Structure 1
Amino acid sequence: MEQGLKILVIRFSSMGDIIYTTPVVRCLKKQLPGAQIHFLTKPAFKYIYDNNPYVDKLHLLKTTLKETIADIEAEKFDYIIDLHNNLRTSLIKWKTGIKSFTYNKQTIRKWLSLKLHLQLVPPIHLVERYMQTVSLLGIKNDDKPIDYYIKANYSLQTLLPATHQQGYIVFIIGATHFTKRMPNNKIISVCNKIGLPVVLLGGKDVQANAAEIEAAVGEKVYNACGVTTLDQSVYLVSKSQKVIGFDTGLTHIAEAFNVPIASVWGSTVPELLGVQPYKVKDAQVIGIELPCRPCSKFGLEKCPLGHFKCMNEIPENVIVNFVNNA
């Protein structure tokens, strides 16, 4: 492969999908001598690549696609690596005429898998699927974890009460859609059975949930939902003993720190999208088999059948035993 290539990698969303592009970017930078690696994403996801040493320049999607295309043309890229494969990226590739390698989303197979409840998509991790996209450039997976670089120097003393500074479990209770979240009563029950103090993490959208959980469990639980920034939340994850989380971006970012993870799944399943925990030595995927599961790829605002068995019937002892066992 010739030296000094200039390559643009594109992935617009979401948090989890973008964090899984980091091994591809790392391998491109390390395996192509002298290559310049640029990355294009939405402004909302800039933080994922801030401080990443394998990206030479970070580009953010402009207000109009025309502006973005003009920026790309000005850079004179040799290749585009399209890890999103949607209408916008197709237009970018068509308008710029730059040679490209495009991620195969297997959209039809995923749709059929979901509708027919069949495993028509091989349970290959998304990182491996991305790696297939760059294999024609001679890139091989280095089999290392995903990358996330914490932006500042934090301390547990400034972020947590004294009761939680000597060791704690992180419980990530947030998720974009309701059917990815465990009901409060289940979370309360699990927290009561955990031996260590618990730190609740999530956005402002789950602050009320977290307040209810904290009130029910007591001082053992510290509610940091909507209080810490995302970067601070990642820091707390990195210093935790273990993590319990749902199908959400922060749970996936936790994989960068090789902290033991109990990955709890409701209406979605990791095999369909290839987002099971990646390169984590101690991880357990927890979900139950149901005729109606999965009911969606990304989660829904309510259970279509009204019973929400996929979360209501999750065996709490599996989570508790994973967390409490040394």
Structure 2
Amino acid sequence: MARDTVFALRGAGRRVDILVKKSFAAAADETGADRVISYDPKNQSAVKLIRELNTERYDEVFDLHSNMRSRFIAALLKAKKKRRIKKHFWRRKLMVWLKYIPKGGYSVRDEYLKTCGLDPKEHPAAVSVKKIKRKKGSVRVLFHIGAKHRLKRWPHYAKLAELLSENPSVSVTITGIKDEVEKDDEILYIKKRNIRNMIGKTDQKGLLREIERCDVFVGNDTMAAHAASLYGKKAFVFLGPTASGFGFITKDRFDIIERDLTCRPCHLHGGEKCPIGDFRCLDAVSPEAVCGRIQKYIGKAGG
């Protein structure tokens, strides 16, 4: 989401440095920033970091995270202008409590731009969905399965992989972190001629390269989905406990797969246990229906 903001700021003649946690440095490298500064809070002193940053004599500091750590760092940086993003926490909290999504689109991407003094209407997405270009006769579909929070994990990727692999013009690559996949999930062991199983075999840079090479992305509400959007990929994203109204996975950037249920949204971040016990928001989303949507898109997009 930060890429559009970086592009807009650089287009206005500003030099842009980004400070991120070390674990997100590879993704930040793709934003087009002039410099990515990685910070490891477990092994690096915040005070020392602030001293080093103050040697840069920044004119503007924009806090796009607005948590306790980022507020502390921003407060001690010497800059003529400082602004902090409005996270609208209570807006999202009310959605969870009331199970109600207000009308009118809300986008965290737009909030990034506003925080930096930019008009979102004047700065459309830097990358649009790219047309599929077949290479060696195959359309490359990437699954990024799993998620940090259990309730974000759609449980039918194995069946979807089998269905898509029946199309000889489709090849499926599966990525993910083993710790974020259920241990008894058959997707961990799936093998087939046109299915490449890369679960647990890519670091963040490797994952980004896989996303960059694919034609179609399928995944849960995670960082990988945002990377797919950054690269201009058609991204099918499952939403269960969370909702597009939160402003992260939005309908203008993703093909959202979700069910209209009175129990949604149920959690700000994902959660570990279904409040009503049957996980109907994602478990009842059939792989056959999802396969149909993907195949329809591939057909229209030239696959």
Q: In which range does the TM-score fall when normalised by the shorter chain?
A: 0.7 to 0.9
Calculate the TM-score normalised by the size of structure 1. 0.77
| CA apart distance, 1:228 | 2.6
Calculate the TM-score normalised by the size of structure 2. 0.82
Deviates more, 1:52-61 or 1:291-300: 52-61
| CA apart distance, 1:168 | 3.0
Instruction: Map residues 199-210 of structure 1 onto 2, 5 A cutoff.
Output: 199-206=173-180
Match of 2:158 among 162, 183, 188: 188
State the partner residue of 1:130: 112
Kindly provide the CA deviation profile for residues 45-103 of structure 1, in whole angstroms up to 9, marking residues without a partner as x: 11123365432453535523222222222221111111111222222333335320111
SS state at 1:253 partner: helix
Q: Does structure 1 conserve the Cα–Cα contact (< 8 Å) formed by 2:27 and 2:204?
A: no
Q: How many Å separate the matches in 1 of 2:30 and 2:233?
A: 21
Q: How many Å separate the matches in 1 of 2:38 and 2:15?
A: 13
With over 3 angstroms needed to count, the CA separation of the structure-2 counterparts of 1:293 and 1:287, relative to structure 1, is same
SS state at 2:205 partner: helix
State the partner residue of 2:256: 285
Aligned letter for 1:253?
A
With over 3 angstroms needed to count, the CA separation of the structure-2 counterparts of 1:311 and 1:236, relative to structure 1, is same
Unaligned runs of 5+ in 1: 1-19, 147-163
Q: Does structure 2 conserve the Cα–Cα contact (< 8 Å) formed by 1:206 and 1:225?
A: no
State the partner residue of 1:76: 57
| CA apart distance, 1:258 | 2.1
| CA apart distance, 1:314 | 1.1
| Number of matched pairs | 283
| CA apart distance, 1:209 | 5.3
Identity of aligned residues (%): 22
Q: How many Å separate the matches in 1 of 2:72 and 2:189?
A: 51
Q: Does structure 1 conserve the Cα–Cα contact (< 8 Å) formed by 2:3 and 2:32?
A: no
Say whether residues 1:104 and 2:78 are aligned partners: no
Unaligned runs of 5+ in 2: 129-135
Q: Does structure 2 conserve the Cα–Cα contact (< 8 Å) formed by 1:200 and 1:210?
A: no
Say whether residues 1:262 and 2:249 are aligned partners: no
Deviates more, 1:135-144 or 1:119-128: 135-144
State the partner residue of 1:17: none
State the partner residue of 1:321: 292
Match of 1:312 among 265, 271, 283: 283
Kindly provide the CA deviation profile for residues 81-139 of structure 1, in whole angstroms up to 9, marking residues without a partner as x: 11111222222333335320111111122211211112258532221111111226999
State the partner residue of 2:140: 168
Match of 1:38 among 8, 17, 41: 17
With over 3 angstroms needed to count, the CA separation of the structure-2 counterparts of 1:61 and 1:165, relative to structure 1, is farther
Aligned letter for 1:174?
G
State the partner residue of 1:152: none
SS state at 1:169 partner: strand
SS state at 1:188 partner: helix
Aligned letter for 1:25?
V
Q: How many Å separate the matches in 2 of 1:249 and 1:131?
A: 19
